[in-house]
Amino acid sequence: GLGCINHHSFLPLRRSSLLHSTTPPSKSRNQTRCISSIAPQNTMAVEDFEAVLKAKYPGKAHAKRVVDLIRKTKPDANGVIYLEGRMTKLLEDNDSPEHFRQRRYFYYLTGCNLADCSFAYDIQSSKSILFIPPIDPDDVIWSGLPLSIDEALSRYDVDEVKFTTEVNPTLAHLAKQSPNSTVFAIANQVSDNVTFLEFGSKDFEAVKKAIEVSRVVKDEFEVAMIRKANHISSLAHKAVIERSKTAATEQELYATFLERCVSHAAPEMAYHPILAAGKAAATLHYVDNNAPLKGKQNLLIDAGCEWNNYASDITRTFPLTGTFTKESRDIYDIVLRMQKECTELIKGGMLWDDLHLHAHKVAIDGLLALGILKGDAKEILDARTSAAFFP
């Protein structure tokens, strides 16, 4: 997500062949190696994040943060930020479009989830312009009326909305207002028909780096979006547990998860869901989701939806019979301790690697206590033996 850097909330435990616990808060996939400051970690009730989400996505505030970050390395930066969303692309040998997924950098400055759009932000005036596709009468017959300029202006946090046919004239006008200014864009994300000839210089690196840094720290609206995604995913996880009482195959549980998410207006998955019964749970990224459940003790579900490009990522293991065996419960309790202790250690500036290392130490202690591992804990850690259970 936009996290699925995507993606947005932090939890150190990654998926492993150990059982996953059910009580601590959910996590999401994030490649950031140092845990940054995010909104306070208090519990936000459903009505609280829904109230926050009634406002517009704060695209203009994000744009200003990005400009401030660009100016940390380029103090005199002036000109225009130009970004493009994903364009409609047909499937090979087919007249249907590929599944649309918005570019995260574009969404971060616009909150716009439409295809074939562009965006310009004039740094000097702090003015944002969203460009949407013009009305195609032939397409209206098939697909209905697209979003109008007035509707887009009402929906998105931008100062002006124009049609994409006006991109080049608008960029030329903005460039002439600030002679020798720079256009900031992302390499390989500018259409061939767009021209930057009027600008004094072109920079295809600074804006992407600035957005990446800006996205690390989430504002209140973004945290609410993450909570919304996690709320819907939690409902879907609970539905899977209930459905497991009568389901015969993994795909029935897979369908149950998708149904709950789609019915709550969250059709996009943050990643391909994993519903693995029995020994399949030891496969880190099991994708089949179609095996029979009969004769299997436990089910691992690693699944999360997105809410407008912001991701959830929840992994849980539960007994298909309703009761863990003693052996399963012993492993479950080790993972529960790993998760609780690592969650307690999370704070601004904490390195992800240090949290992961602590989880390994807890796992080793637990497996030694059960007699599964034998020897000295430090020697086992140094030999990376625990990585066989917890990569």
Q: Could you say which residues of the chain have pLDDT below 70?
A: 1-45
Domains in the chain, CATH or no CATH each: 55-89+99-215 (3.40.350.10), 218-322 (3.90.230.10), 324-390 (no CATH)
Show the tokens assigned to 367: 């497996």
**Closest listed residue to residue 343, CA positions, set 44, 233, 304, 335:** 335
Q: Give the pLDDT of residue 2.
A: 56
Show the tokens assigned to 332: 């479950």
Show the tokens assigned to 317: 């293991």
Q: Is residue 313 helix, strand or coil?
A: strand
Q: Give the pLDDT of residue 47.
A: 75
* 83 contacts 118 by C-beta, under 8 angstroms: yes
Please write the tens of the pLDDT for every residue from 144-174.
Answer: 999 999 999 999 999 999 999 999 999 999 9
- Partners of residue 351 on adjacent β-strands: 34
Q: How far apart are CA 170 and CA 177, in angstroms?
A: 11
Q: Give the pLDDT of residue 11.
A: 29
Sequence-separated contacts (24+) of 289-296 with Cβ below 8 Å:
289/250, 289/251, 289/253, 289/254, 290/249, 290/250, 290/251, 291/249, 291/250, 292/248, 292/249, 292/250, 293/244, 293/247, 293/248, 293/249, 293/250, 293/320, 294/248, 296/320
Give the CA dihedral 130, 134, 139, 145, nearest 10 degrees: 70
Q: Which residues of 62-78 are buried (b: 16+ CB within 10 A; e: fewer)?
A: bbbbbbebbeeeeeebe
Q: Give the pLDDT of residue 21.
A: 42
- Judged on CB neighbours under 10 Å (0-12, 13-18, 19+), 33 is exposed
Q: Give the pLDDT of residue 46.
A: 72
Q: Give the pLDDT of residue 45.
A: 67
Show the tokens assigned to 192: 């061939």
pTM, 2 dp:
0.87
Q: Give the pLDDT of residue 1.
A: 59
Please write the tens of the pLDDT for every residue from 166-198.
Answer: 999 999 999 999 888 999 999 999 999 999 999
How many C-alpha atoms does 237 have within 13 Å on its Cβ side?
24
Segments of 167-313 assigned E as strands: 182-184, 201-203, 274-277, 298-303, 306-307, 310-311
